[in-house]
Structures are given as C-alpha cells and as structure tokens.
Amino acid sequence: MDISLIVDNWQLFAEGLWNTVWLVSLSLLIGGLLALPLALAQAYQIPVWGRLSFWFSYSFRGTPLLVQLYLIYYGLGQFEFIRESFLWIFLREAYICALIAFSLNSAAYACEIIRGAICQVPQNLIETAHAIGMSDFQIMRRIVVPIAYRRSIFAYSNEVIFMLHGSVLASTITIIDLLGAGRKLNAKYYVTFEGFLTAALLYMAIVSLISLAFRMIEKKYSIER
C-alpha cells in the first residue's frame, strides 16, 4: 500500500466522486419520476399502458444493466441513421447514454416497488373513502399514492444503494466515475489495491450517508413501526 499515491491523486478521486454522485442522483430522479405513472398504469390495469409498463419493467429487470448500457452506447452508435439524426447530439456523449440506461433501469425497479405497495393498500381504506363520496381519482391521489409511497421507503432505499453500485459500469464506457478513477490510478502506477480500496471506501461512505438519510426519512414518514 502506498498512501502517497492516493493523496497525490486526490483530484482524480474528487472528479470520480462528483461524476458518480450526479450521475446516480439524476438517474434516480428521472427513474423515480417515470416510476409512478408506470406503477399506476400497471396497478390500475389501464388498457395498453398497463401492458406496456409490464413489458418495460419485465425487460429492464430481466436483463443485466451492463447489456443495457452497451446496447445503448455501442449498439445504437452502429446505425448510420441514428448517427445522422439529431439524436446523435445526445447519444454521442457517454454521460447521456449512461444516464438513459441508469434512469430506465432504476424506473423499472422503482415501478415494481411502488406497484407492489399500491396493491397492498388495505381495501377497507378505499371502501371507506368511497363511502364518504371521494372519486376514484381523489382516492388515488389522497389515499393510495401517499400510503404506497410511505410503504415503499424501506424497499426503495435498497434500490438507491443498488443503483449506486450498478453505476460502476459507467467506467466501462470511458466515464471517469469513482471506480474509473480507481482503475485509472491502478493502470497508471501498476498497482492493485490503492485505486480499488480508495474507491471502495468512498462508495462505503456514500452508502452510509444514504442509509442515514433514509433512516431519517423513515422515522418521519414510515407507517409501520
């Protein structure tokens, strides 16, 4: 172990840390925004959209994130018509490709979590709401979704951590994320532990912060316990 290598290259790790943090945060945000309509479409069995949502989450949860990332990054780049279209302005950037893959993947998992929670909202609550004259939309907005969200918190904290760990794949498509920084250091000085261990410790630090944040959110919003 050569600590000075790590200290001398702190800027590399700072860059990696920053890239990992914003990439994961933005992916989770976009994924989370997509997840609710997807989950509702499935839980309420809305024609066509419900089926589409089912196949979307089925295919994104059924295939490895690495494959999704490679198909978007290297796969789409193979087609001349894509390279000549306006889409290429975005797709030529590795960051955008990673963001698309991570967001869709996260949306698929979050969708399943929320859908499960929606289905478990007690029937008697819904009946009571009906009895006092709420419309279906009001019930969804005021009863079902808030309860489902509060019940999803615990499961969703796992998804956030998995997304963070999954984000290391960004380093395979030229992005200097936290693992990418570790790999770069390892490759530059022909060492094994220095880069990986520093990256691992920083990932652990992020996970601790995520866990802490979720514990606070749970305390405030969780229904059970």
Partner 1 sequence: MKKILTLVVMGASALMANLAHAQDFTIRWGTEPGYKPFTYKNAEGKLVGFDIDIGEAICAELKAKCVWVEQDWDGLIPALQARRFDGILASMSITEERSRVVDFTHPYYIETSQFVGPIDKKYSDAEALSDKTVGVLRGSTQVDFLAATRPDLTLKEYPTNEETWLDLIAGRIDLVFAGSIATELGFLVSDDGKPFELFGKSYSDPKYFGSGVGIAVRKTDNELRDKISKAILTIRDNGTYSKINDRYFSFDVWGK
Query: In the complex, what is the shortest distance from the CB of residue 59 to partner 1, in angstroms, rounded to a whole number?
Result: 24
Structure tokens at 221: 């919003």
Neighbours of 28 (CB within 10 A): 21
Q: In the complex with partner 1, which residue's Cβ is closer, 115 or 183?
A: 183
Query: In the complex, what is the shortest distance from the CB of residue 36 to partner 1, in angstroms, rounded to a whole number?
Result: 34
Distance of CA 108 to the CA centre of its chain: 9
| 148 contacts 117 by C-beta, under 8 angstroms | yes
| 120 contacts 151 by C-beta, under 8 angstroms | yes
Q: In the complex with partner 1, which residue's Cβ is closer, 120 or 174?
A: 174
Query: In the complex, what is the shortest distance from the CB of residue 25 to partner 1, in angstroms, rounded to a whole number?
Result: 24
Query: In the complex, what is the shortest distance from the CB of residue 76 to partner 1, in angstroms, rounded to a whole number?
Result: 9
For 87, phi then psi, to 5°, come to -55, -30
**Smallest Cα–Cα separation from 2: which of 190, 205, 201, 206?**
190
Query: In the complex, what is the shortest distance from the CB of residue 63 to partner 1, in angstroms, rounded to a whole number?
Result: 20
Query: In the complex, what is the shortest distance from the CB of residue 189 to partner 1, in angstroms, rounded to a whole number?
Result: 8
Q: In the complex with partner 1, which residue's Cβ is closer, 80 or 224?
A: 80
**Smallest Cα–Cα separation from 94: which of 184, 31, 19?**
19
Go through 32-41 and write b for each residue having 16 or more CB atoms within 10 A of its CB, e for each that does not.
Answer: bebbbebbbb
Q: In the complex with partner 1, which residue's Cβ is closer, 93 or 127?
A: 93
Q: In the complex with partner 1, which residue's Cβ is closer, 88 or 162?
A: 88
For tokens 């007690």, the residue is 122
Q: In the complex with partner 1, which residue's Cβ is closer, 35 or 175?
A: 175
Structure tokens at 117: 């929670």
Which chain residues interact with partner 1 by CB under 8 A?
Answer: 74, 77-78, 83, 88, 92, 94, 172, 174, 183-184, 186-188, 190-192
